[in-house]
Amino acid sequence: AQTVTQSQPEMSVQEAETVTLSCTYDTSENNYYLFWYKQPPSRQMILVIRQEAYKQQNATENRFSVNFQKAAKSFSLKISDSQLGDTAMYFCAFIPYSGGGADGLTFGKGTHLIIQP
């Protein structure tokens, strides 16, 4: 069984600042995927970024990047130049590689990020 831990229930930063959200996980799997999802007040769960465990290079998507440390089982999300629209719950999620995707995601409890004007 896998576990995902997000140790920061809530964070608040000023607009345009850089913020890092933490995530650690525990698994005995060697090949897996990690995700960050964003859930704004509308409640729609939106994919932010994805990392494949066999790839050493950290994923980036515009202002969003990750620091993936496989040995430490750490997967943090960095948001640069934060914007008011980044205010949301952020969930870290894990899925073992199965070749067919037929498995559920294991989610952390989430971090509520507030961007202050």
Partner 1 sequence: DVKVTQSSRYLVKRTGEKVFLECVQDMDHENMFWYRQDPGLGLRLIYFSYDVKMKEKGDIPEGYSVSREKKERFSLILESASTNQTSMYLCASSSASGGDETQYFGPGTRLLVL
d(CA 75, CA 4): 10
Query: Would you put residue 52 in left (φ > 0), alpha (ψ -120 to 50) or beta?
Result: beta
Least separation in angstroms between residue 26's CB and partner 1 is 16
Nearer to partner 1, 37 or 75 (CB): 37
Q: Is residue 90 a contact residue for partner 1 (CB under 8 A)?
A: no
From 64, 70, 78, 97, residue interacting with partner 1 (rule: CB under 8 A): 97
Say if CB 33 and CB 50 are below 8 A apart: yes
Distances (CA, A) of 116 to 12, 14, 35, 49, 87: 7, 5, 25, 23, 9
Contacting partner 1 within 47-66 (CB under 8 A): 47, 50
Least separation in angstroms between residue 102's CB and partner 1 is 4
Q: Is residue 43 a contact residue for partner 1 (CB under 8 A)?
A: yes
Q: Is residue 13 a contact residue for partner 1 (CB under 8 A)?
A: no
d(CA 98, CA 27): 14
Interface ranges with partner 1 (CB under 8 A): 33, 35, 37, 42-47, 50, 91, 95, 97-105, 107-110
